[in-house]
């Protein structure tokens, strides 16, 4: 058994309380590689922001759970080395799909887990989330559960259609499960193709997607005052990264994300955790494609992973400072 507290990690409880009260959101960045971890830590230290480093089932399959946990341990030490005496870093399981997977992560140094029973019938989702919460809370590990279904297709997370969260269910769900935060569905979705061009409106040559369902979010806030809400699928899919990828040999068509203005607005509400993965993938791929196209003789991975890491760090800092507003929000510097 490895307890996260021995690794210098923290759970989400206190940081969410402060984020809801302060009207900002904590960034939850997915990571699969050392370069992503380094970029996340550099960005969090430079901006003095708490941060959630999250690992999907696909990430564990790719990189190995033990290695990722040790990267998170290294992240705490690295943050201190960079001059942050009291970093607030959460190691979170993203989209856990079974009690066994959540238990394995809790037993192996994770400080927070998500149990995603959102595709199950309501009562089964309640029962599964409750079981995970009962186990996790014995070790002071916090639990995110989900109500409502997000559309989108990735390695391990996929659904063709989205179903908005029903506000009339949230009190019953959070009370009976005892979950610490709730992921909701209000129009975000996973991946870099969140909307079809037909769903968007053309404004000054730019495709603008339909707005998020803020009415549902506000109804949920009224039913659960101060309760931490989570938004998945919140990449903005920056056009400059998509254009760079396409300019240097890529082929990404109709990539459309969530406008940052809407995420800025959501961050001011009870939304206190915003999940971003695709934007990191785009920043990394754009920098690597550009570097290799401009330096065809390079073959040392450090030559192209360094600009990739820099580009991700720039993106993370931008999200923290200009979108989520979590800069300067460490309890102690
Ligand atoms: O929500 C899913 C995350 O973006 C992780 O994606 O399962 O492809 O690692 P993945
Ligand atoms: P994006 O695909 O929009 O980055 O969403 C990531 C996510 O929700 C991870 O759980
Ligand atoms: Zn997600």
Confidence at residue 242, expressed as pLDDT on a 0 to 100 scale: 97
% pLDDT > 70, the chain: 97
Catalytic annotation present for 94: yes
Judged against a pLDDT cut of 60, whether residue 154 lies above it is answered with no
User: Could you tell me if the CB of 280 is within 6 A of ligand 1?
Assistant: no
Confidence at residue 205, expressed as pLDDT on a 0 to 100 scale: 85
Provide mean pLDDT across the span 317-327: 98
Confidence at residue 267, expressed as pLDDT on a 0 to 100 scale: 98
Q: Which helix (H) or strand (E) holds 184?
A: strand 181-184
Provide mean pLDDT across the span 12-34: 98
Confidence at residue 153, expressed as pLDDT on a 0 to 100 scale: 52
> Confidence band (pLDDT; 50, 70, 90) for 333?
confident
Provide mean pLDDT across the span 135-150: 97
Provide mean pLDDT across the span 118-144: 98
Ligand 2 atom nearest to CA at 114: 10
The active-site residue out of 94, 180, 277, 279 is 94
Ligand 2 atom nearest to CA at 258: 3
Confidence at residue 187, expressed as pLDDT on a 0 to 100 scale: 95
User: Could you tell me if the CB of 12 is within 6 A of ligand 1?
Assistant: no
pLDDT tens track for 236-269: 999 999 999 999 999 999 899 999 999 999 999 9
**Rounded Cα gap, residues 45 and 30, in angstroms:** 17
* Mean pLDDT, rounded, of the chain: 96
User: Could you tell me if the CB of 235 is within 6 A of ligand 1?
Assistant: no
Confidence at residue 101, expressed as pLDDT on a 0 to 100 scale: 98
Q: Is 34 exposed, middle or buried (0-12, 13-18, 19+ CB in 10 A)?
A: middle
Provide mean pLDDT across the span 197-213: 91
DSSP 193: B
For a ligand 2 pocket test, name from 29, 149, 233, 241 the mutation site with the most ligand atoms within 8 angstroms of its C-beta.
233
Provide mean pLDDT across the span 66-76: 96
**Rounded Cα gap, residues 309 and 243, in angstroms:** 19
Confidence at residue 206, expressed as pLDDT on a 0 to 100 scale: 85
Pocket lining for ligand 2, CB < 6 angstroms: 30, 94-95, 190-191, 232-235, 275-279
Confidence at residue 322, expressed as pLDDT on a 0 to 100 scale: 98
Confidence at residue 122, expressed as pLDDT on a 0 to 100 scale: 97
User: Could you tell me if the CB of 59 is within 6 A of ligand 1?
Assistant: yes
Which structure tokens are listed for 62?
């790719």
Judged against a pLDDT cut of 70, whether residue 160 lies above it is answered with no
Judged against a pLDDT cut of 70, whether residue 178 lies above it is answered with yes
Judged against a pLDDT cut of 90, whether residue 152 lies above it is answered with no
Q: Count CB neighbours of 214 within 10 A.
A: 14
User: Could you tell me if the CB of 92 is within 6 A of ligand 1?
Assistant: no
For a ligand 1 pocket test, name from 94, 96, 278 the mutation site with the most ligand atoms within 8 angstroms of its C-beta.
94
**Rounded Cα gap, residues 104 and 112, in angstroms:** 12
Q: Strands 112-115 and 89-96: what pairing?
A: parallel
Residues with CB under 5 A from ligand 3 (ion): 232
Angle, CA of 191, 90 and 53, to the nearest 5°: 30
More confident residue, 207 or 321: 321
Confidence at residue 200, expressed as pLDDT on a 0 to 100 scale: 93
Provide mean pLDDT across the span 44-56: 98
Which residues, 6+ apart, have CB-to-CB distance to 277 below 8 Å? Answer: 29, 30, 56, 154, 190, 235
Confidence at residue 235, expressed as pLDDT on a 0 to 100 scale: 98
């Amino acid at each position: 058994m490895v307890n996260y507290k021995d690794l210098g990690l923290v759970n989400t409880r206190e940081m969410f309380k402060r984020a809801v009260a302060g009207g900002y959101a904590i960034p939850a960045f997915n990571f699969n590689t050392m370069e992503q971890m380094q970029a996340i830590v550099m960005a969090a230290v430079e901006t003095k922001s708490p941060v959630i480093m999250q690992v999907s089932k696909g990430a564990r399959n790719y990189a190995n759970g033990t290695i990722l946990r040790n990267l998170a341990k290294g992240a705490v030490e690295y943050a201190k080395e960079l001059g942050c005496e009291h970093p607030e870093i959460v190691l979170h399981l993203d989209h856990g799909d079974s009690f066994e997977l959540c238990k394995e992560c809790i037993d192996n140094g994770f400080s927070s887990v998500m149990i995603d029973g959102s595709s199950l019938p309501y009562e089964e989702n309640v029962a599964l989330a409750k079981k995970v919460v009962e186990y996790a809370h014995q070790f002071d590990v916090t639990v995110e559960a989900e109500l409502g279904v997000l559309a989108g297709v990735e390695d391990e997370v996929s659904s063709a259609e989205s179903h908005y969260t029903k506000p009339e269910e949230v009190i019953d769900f959070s009370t009976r499960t005892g979950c610490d935060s709730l992921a909701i569905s209000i129009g975000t979705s996973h991946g870099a193709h969140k909307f079809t061009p037909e769903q968007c409106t053309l404004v000054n040559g730019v495709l603008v997607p339909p707005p998020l369902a803020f009415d549902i979010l506000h109804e949920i806030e009224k039913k659960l005052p101060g309760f931490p809400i989570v938004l998945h699928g919140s990449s903005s899919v920056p056009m400059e990264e998509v254009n760079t990828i396409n300019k240097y040999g890529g082929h990404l068509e109709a990539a459309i994300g969530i406008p940052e203005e809407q995420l800025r607005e959501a961050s001011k509400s009870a939304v206190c955790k915003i999940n971003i993965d695709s934007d990191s993938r785009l920043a990394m791929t754009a920098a690597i494609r550009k570097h290799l196209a401009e330096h065809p003789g390079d073959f040392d991975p450090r030559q192209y992973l360094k600009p990739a890491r820099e580009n991700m760090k720039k993106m993370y800092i931008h999200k923290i400072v200009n979108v989520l507003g979590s800069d300067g929000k460490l309890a102690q510097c």
